[in-house]
Amino acid sequence: MEQTKTKIKQFLAQFFGSHQLQDNEDIFALGFVNSMFAMQLVLFIEQEFKVAIENEDLDFENFRTIEAMSNLIERKMAVLAGK
Amino acid sequence: MTMKIELTPQQKDAQTAFREFVNDEIIPYADWCDREEHTPPNLIQKLAEKEYLGALIPTEFGGSNLDPIAYGLLNEEIGRGCSSLRSLLTVHSMVARAVLKWGSRSQKEYWLPKLATGEVIAAFALSEPHVGSDAKSIETTAKLADNSYVLNGQKKWITYGQIADVFLVFAVCEGQYCAFLVEKDRPGLAIKSISVMVGVKASMLAELHLDDCVIPSDNLVGKPGFGFAYVASSALDWGRYSVAWGCVGIARACLEASLKYTDARQQFNVYLKEHQLIRQMISEAIANIKAARLLCYQAGYLKQVGDPKSIQETSIAKYFASVIANKVASDAVQIHGGNGCSSEYSVQRYWRDAKIMEIIEGSTQIQQITIADYGYQEFLNNDHR
């Protein structure tokens, strides 16, 4: 879990510059808007954690914070492991 | 191990097959299509028979599942022959990718096999009379009523809109961006042809007029609010990739025509190819085409491995390839002189088509703004601060 969060934090750092992002900080509220960001985030999660982000995962709550993204990834990895 | 930039034997075989198909089935008709502003159905049928319309669709849905590099090579070859037909491959594949990535299970099972065989042709409907680059300002609206959405608004410059069976339409619903599949025969949808464009003239453009057009709520692709940053963006990424390769194809067609012409025509008692200023243009074209192709390979490789950097690298490839295609095409017309300005030679078509490539799928100026972001991101991430 902590490792997942660290990796997400490292990825997000390139978009947020010197801002030290907290686990529960709302990334949408920071006013970061770039249409390329969303796709890069999806590709990062898919490549790094070997899970597919799909239709049913499209909920802003899943991407709002590092904590939320980490939970989504853990849930998806658990489903894969259970198969 | 040394770094290697080389096609696999399978990709080389595929490239040979694409090249032969384009030489035999597309090039003999491309100037006619341009003049008539029309793509004959049998030409599209031939693309379908070769399974090229299912290039980006997995085999489980009946597609031919080309890897990104092979798909790029296909776009280069078709782009070399006819940019209009390449545009069909572009928009059709963009919609297929959007459905594959963000569609529901039932949307995938219903649409993908039909898109793979070409039984259904798809088009991408984002641009509007008042909205081009500033896509977030789209004015088309959707309203949810019971189990339906009611769409109102206009779409413009829709590539192959005249013949498409289904459109991926972008609209705003209660302040949220949404993407919808709209079948051509839905009541309230009127399709009007656009003609007399300067380039990509056979791409059968249309306007869509949505006037209380009612579609089932199941036609929503993705979720409300995700229509732009996710559905449109992922489709446009594949669109830029296709256009980038298509531009390499245009530039190659120009170079090949120029090599042939300068090898056969004499002025001042020597072949044109002996004149230094001609050689300068030829050399520049060769270098630019090689550079553009390498950027396309890079973007394709990153797509293959699913790297997040593939998004920006695709933009860079599209930006560079479309700019150099214009330069190479303009030089090709210059080299051909009066002949180059006439309908007897294809270089004037390539030149007109190249211009369109700097406008579609993110104009040169939009790329010039966004690529800089990438530079800052990289710089900051590498902790050079």
Q: What is the domain partition of chain B in residue ranges?
A: 9-121, 123-224, 228-381
**Residue A26, Cβ density class (10 Å: 0-12 exposed, 13-18 middle, ≥19 buried):** exposed
How many other C-beta atoms lie within 10 A of the C-beta of residue B8?
11
Mean pLDDT of chain B: 96
Given a cut of 60, whether residue A44 has pLDDT beyond it is yes
User: Are the Cβ atoms of B308 and A47 closer than 8 angstroms?
Assistant: yes
Given a cut of 90, whether residue B375 has pLDDT beyond it is no
Q: Which residues of A touch B309 (CB under 8 A)?
A: 40
Distance CA A44, CA B130 (A): 34
DSSP string, B71-87: HHHHHHHHHHH-HHHHH
- Return the pLDDT at B384: 47
Maximum pairwise Cα distance, chain A:
41
Rounded percentage of chain A residues whose pLDDT exceeds 90: 66
Q: pLDDT tens digits, residue range B175-190?
A: 999 999 999 999 999 9
Class of domain B9-121: mainly alpha
Best interface-test mutation with B: which of A20, A27, A40, A48 has the largest number of B CBs within 10 A? A40
Q: pLDDT tens digits, residue range B306-361?
A: 999 999 999 999 999 999 999 999 999 999 999 999 999 999 999 999 999 999 99
**What are the CB-based long-range contacts (under 8 Å, 24+) for B39-43?**
B39/B84, B39/B85, B39/B88, B39/B160, B39/B163, B39/B202, B39/B203, B39/B204, B41/B163, B43/B85
Cβ–Cβ < 8 Å for B373, A34: yes
User: Are the Cβ atoms of A58 and B226 closer than 8 angstroms?
Assistant: yes
User: Are the Cβ atoms of B380 and A14 closer than 8 angstroms?
Assistant: yes
Given a cut of 70, whether residue B157 has pLDDT beyond it is yes
Give the start-to-end residue ranges of the domains of chain A. 2-14+22-82
Q: pLDDT tens digits, residue range B227-251?
A: 999 999 999 999 999 999 999 999 9
- Return the pLDDT at B373: 86
Q: Does B229 touch chain A (CB under 8 A)?
A: yes
Higher-confidence residue of B18 and A29: namely: B18
Q: What is the ipTM of this complex?
A: 0.93
Q: pLDDT tens digits, residue range B44-96?
A: 999 999 999 999 999 999 999 999 999 999 999 999 999 999 999 999 999 99
Q: Tell me whether the CATH fold assigned to B9-121 matches the one assigned to B123-224.
A: no
Q: How far is B230 from chain A (nearest CA, A)?
A: 6
Cβ–Cβ < 8 Å for A53, A42: yes
Which amino acid is residue B244, in one-letter code?
A: A
The answer to whether the Cα torsion of B286, B287, B293, B296 is positive or negative is negative
* Residue B229: closest C-alpha in chain A: A35
Maximum pairwise Cα distance, chain B:
79
Which amino acid is residue B119, in one-letter code?
A: E
Fold of B123-224: Butyryl-CoA Dehydrogenase, subunit A; domain 2 (2.40.110)
DSSP label at B128?
Answer: B
For A2-14+22-82, CATH number out of 1.10.1200.10, 1.20.1090.10, 3.30.360.10, 3.40.50.2300 equals 1.10.1200.10
Q: What CATH code would you report for B228-381?
A: 1.20.140.10
Mean pLDDT of chain A: 90
Q: How far is A56 from chain B (nearest CA, A)?
A: 8
Give the residue numbers of B marked as catalytic: 361
User: Are the Cβ atoms of A39 and B234 closer than 8 angstroms?
Assistant: yes
Best interface-test mutation with A: which of B226, B236, B304, B384 has the largest number of A CBs within 10 A? B226
Strand, coil or helix: what is B153? Answer: strand
